[in-house]
Amino acid sequence: MIADHMLVRANPEGNTAQLAGRPKLLFIACYFPPVQAIGAVRGGNIERYLGSLGWEVTVVTPDPSLWRNVDDIEKLLTELDRGSLKRILTGHRWRFLVPNHLKCWDQNVGWVAGGICRSIARHLGIDRHIGWVKEAERACSHLCPKDVDIILASGSPFVSFRLAKTLSDRLRRPYVLDYRDPWTQSRFVGRPPRLKSVREEAGLLKDCAAVTIVSPSWAEDLDQRYGVGEKVHVVTNGYDSDEVATVRPYDFGHCAFVFTGNFYPPKISLAPFLAALKLLKESQNEMGNEWYFHYYGAQEDYVRQQAAHYGLTDRIVLHGRVPRREALAAVKGANLALGISSIYEQSQLIDKGTIPGKIFEAIGLGTPVLLITPLGSDATALLTPTGLVKSFTGSDTQGMVSFLQEVVGGRASQPKNIESCSWTTLSKNLDVILRGCLTFTTGHHHFLRDGAGSEPK
């Protein structure tokens, strides 16, 4: 049960007049700051930058106390106390389905029991966050049409899309679906999608006002499968100009190659990069320059094992999981950041459309990026013009070695047009999309916003 005080409004009572005329966005985002997850970064930037463009944003998200790993919790609590944020904080049942992110009983018998339940859920195709959607719906039960002009739902988890449709039907307000990841067309699972999930996705896409998605190939894939046509808009990930401006670079004291985050073998594997490092180490052109590969993340055992296989144990530094600000400082201080979308040379649309979000942060920080990606990928097309991203297929070991030799030799790439990757630019595109949806007609409802907080017509 979520207490009444957990509904936090943006302005103290008596200052609401300044919000008159501002469109009201209900933003459904399970992964959201301060949770330490890459999925939370996009949502945080959407809230912040749409707010600066005149939107009154209320975020529906789990209570921060439920997450295992959070960043800057003190800052968040201060902002909530100050009334500068609007949140509808929810509970989350069945947290044992997401033990890596949510606090739950995960010791001894609890871990065994939870493991059995997770296996059953996977077998039945149950979303791991199924225990959140009913709690979120209950937390939003007090909302009425005058509180909301439009609903935006971020996925994954895709139960947020289901919640958006439910609230849209009740409040008679249009909803927009924001895909951070593909839903039924998985990047990592080879088996066909479940027919029930495909039908649900089709129905939600049919009734939504618009769809935003992070890459052109994913937009094309969605259109091919569901015929979304002009509904779909590409809004990539990006970097927060204000955030990167405050990052102080970490001084490694040597040439540093950095990777932050997780690997997903065999598709997103460290092996091709380590093969290049092995040749770099043996190269006669290295001239004795000191360099090391630094890994920041939870998969230290995997990196340690791979490094031993390639004879690079003496060239690897493991830092473990660190706060976001520390990871950004490392990327800022690095001579090179590593990004991997797929090590396969030829890929389907779903792989060509994968653009690791961390690359945008490296661009904003002015750090050169070695990107391992398929031929003809969206990442290559969209990010090469920044002047900081150099793309290679997983099999182009010698090409990577040549580029690494340039980096070690101090011949760094220089940024060009990076502003196109900033949320200052991206949010303006999203603003236009959302404002265009404030009046939207479906076969079931006619939605019309006529001034702030209008009733449905």
Stretch 65-81: mean pLDDT, rounded? 75
Confidence of residue 190 (pLDDT cuts 50, 70, 90): low
Q: How many CB atoms lie within 10 A of CB 171?
A: 21
pLDDT of residue 343: 94
pLDDT over threshold 50, residue 453 = no
Stretch 9-34: mean pLDDT, rounded? 67
pLDDT over threshold 60, residue 143 = yes
- Tell me what the pLDDT averaged over the chain comes to: 88
pLDDT of residue 77: 66
Q: Above pLDDT 90, what percent of the chain?
A: 70
Dump pLDDT digits (tens) for 235-292: 999 999 999 999 999 999 999 999 999 999 999 999 999 999 999 998 855 556 789 9
Stretch 85-94: mean pLDDT, rounded? 92
Q: In the Cβ-directed half-sphere of 394, how many Cα atoms lie within 13 Å?
A: 18
pLDDT over threshold 60, residue 448 = no
Query: Can you tell me the distance from the alpha carbon of 245 to that of 229, in angstroms, rounded to the nearest whole number?
Result: 38
Dump pLDDT digits (tens) for 299-317: 999 999 999 999 999 999 9
Stretch 11-20: mean pLDDT, rounded? 37
Question: Parallel, antiparallel, or unpaired: how do β-strands 56-62 and 24-28 relate?
Answer: parallel
Poorest-pLDDT segment among 96-100, 221-225, 314-318, 328-332: 96-100
Predicted TM-score (pTM) of this structure: 0.87
Higher pLDDT, 440 or 129: 129
pLDDT of residue 187: 67
Poorest-pLDDT segment among 101-115, 307-321, 373-387, 401-415: 101-115
pLDDT over threshold 50, residue 3 = no
Dump pLDDT digits (tens) for 398-429: 999 999 999 998 887 788 889 999 999 999 99
pLDDT over threshold 50, residue 450 = no
Q: Above pLDDT 70, what percent of the chain?
A: 87
Poorest-pLDDT segment among 22-36, 94-108, 240-254, 360-374: 94-108
Report long-range pairs for 436-444 (Cβ below 8 Å, ≥24 apart).
436/210, 437/150, 437/174, 437/176, 437/209, 437/210, 438/23, 438/149, 438/150, 438/174, 440/174, 440/209, 442/207, 444/169, 444/207
Higher pLDDT, 365 or 9: 365
Stretch 67-75: mean pLDDT, rounded? 79
Stretch 361-369: mean pLDDT, rounded? 97
pLDDT of residue 284: 59
